[in-house]
Amino acid sequence: MIKFSLLKPLSCLLFILSAAVANAAPLIPAAPKLAASAFHLIDAHSGKVIASKNADQRLPPASLTKMMTSYIVAYEVSKGRVSLDDMVPISIAAWKKGGSKMYVREGTRVKLRDLLKGIVIQSGNDASIAVAEYIAGSEDGFAELMNHQAKLLGMKNTQYMNATGWPVEGHYSTAEDLAILGVAVARDFPEHYKIYSEKYFTYNNIRQPNRNKLLWRDNSVDGLKTGHTEEAGYCLVASAVRKNMRLVSVVMGTKSEKSRSQESQKLLNYGFRFYQTHRLYQQAEKIHDGRVWGGKQDQLQLGLSEDLYVTIARGEYANLKPSLELNGVINAPVTTGQALGLVRVMLDGKLVSERPLVSLMDIEQGSIIKRIGDSAERFFSETFESIFAD
């Protein structure tokens, strides 16, 4: 392995702080104790888990289920299989469903755009069933799509039986999985995500407020979804952005509507107060030039296939130590995206993040003369290095 320091790209910021400040360990109190069955707090960009309790415990998700329902709607729209202007028929099953409602009427047709708002803002069970039937032919068929998408997102402890979160045996999720879904909703379909911040929606002359009360109490909060059944208690997946740092919190099994908001606010405030997220490198940003042997070109630009974010304690940025390791000698041909090493970020001797170092360009194999010349140059170079090393 060939190792290189990557201090230079960060040098403008790494050494702003004095040595005394850089070496001082920040004092971070323990995460707040919440009156909840389970909770989970992560940074949406880095995936860093900031606080967690019983995050892998399977619990009834109630209407938090509707995040997946709306996610699939956004996905189907993005693929062109449905349109937000489609007129969706309302069945008797959708119209008769109890619980929270959008108040659509059986036998009518409603724009998919309006049904989506009814799902997200009004938590309408009727809207959820209508959409499920329209996209998959039946609610059972839609549940299969939901479970398939959950696996694709890495939700390992989730199983959907319906599109609403209506209590039924075998319908469960976890705080960790719901955080993964919350991040995906905001990341994958940003235009669709804007609906989650809308405070009111009126349909059929009935104006209903968004059940996420944090939208009124905290200007940094822009989503996501509430849930409540007797079995599940009061639940809330919340997301907020402060200074380009997005956190997603999940609180499950609280005792009241007020409590779920209060406990979520505690989590978010804790994360923003004591942690900070930094983007160290951008996707496709050149961070190293590698020597290529036997190619039409001698130099290869190396970088990352995605942005590299780290979430660390406030005041620790100056102590980050990024470095890269090449797998070995780079021989042509090389293709864009080919993994050729690793980028590691260390903090106080602990690994913070690790990403594959990839080629940012294609390099074709050179002519026979070029390959012979490079082979000779490499032989003499390695020979001299060996002599001086001895």
Q: What average pLDDT does range 314-331 have in this prediction?
A: 92
Encode burial over 72-102: b for 16+ CB neighbours within 10 A, e otherwise. bbbbbbeeeebeeeeebebbeebbebebbbb
Predicted confidence at residue 19, as pLDDT, reads 38
Q: What average pLDDT does range 142-168 have in this prediction?
A: 98
CB proximity list for 345: less than 8 A, separation 6 or greater: 280, 308, 310, 320, 321, 322, 351, 352, 353, 354
Identity of the highest mean pLDDT range in 176-185, 291-300, 317-326, 330-339: 176-185
> Which listed residue (52, 70, 123, 239) is catalytic?
123
CB proximity list for 109: less than 8 A, separation 6 or greater: 87, 88, 89, 90
pLDDT grade, residue 374 (50/70/90)?
low
Percentage of residues in the chain with pLDDT exceeding 90? 83
Q: Is 220 a catalytic residue?
A: no
Tokens 């909060």 sit on residue: 221
| End-to-end Cα distance, the chain | 19
Separation CA 55–CA 178 (nearest Å): 9
Q: Is 66 a catalytic residue?
A: yes
Q: Which residues pair with 181 in a beta bridge?
A: none
Predicted confidence at residue 7, as pLDDT, reads 52
What's phi and psi for 366, nearest 5 deg?
-80, 180
Q: Is 48 a catalytic residue?
A: no
Q: What average pLDDT does range 341-360 have in this prediction?
A: 95
What are the angstrom distances between the C-alpha of 109 and each of 75, 104, 106? 22, 9, 8
pLDDT grade, residue 293 (50/70/90)?
confident
Predicted confidence at residue 27, as pLDDT, reads 81
Domains of the chain: 2-20+282-389 (2.60.410.10), 38-277 (3.40.710.10)
pTM over 0.85: yes
- The whole-chain average pLDDT of the chain stands at 91
Predicted confidence at residue 13, as pLDDT, reads 39
What tens digit of pLDDT does each residue of 97-129 get?
Answer: 999 999 999 999 999 999 999 999 999 999 999
Q: By mean pLDDT, which of 13-22, 133-142, 244-253 is the weakest? A: 13-22
> Which listed residue (63, 128, 259, 261) is catalytic?
63
Q: By mean pLDDT, which of 14-23, 153-162, 299-308, 366-375 is the weakest? A: 14-23
Predicted confidence at residue 385, as pLDDT, reads 58
Which residue, 43, 195, 44, 226, is CA-closest to 114? 195
Predicted confidence at residue 14, as pLDDT, reads 38
> Which listed residue (48, 66, 101, 225) is catalytic?
66
DSSP one-letter string for 264-303: HHHHHHHHHHHEEEEEEE-TT---EEEEEESBSSSEEEEE
Indicate if the pLDDT at residue 21 is higher than 80: no
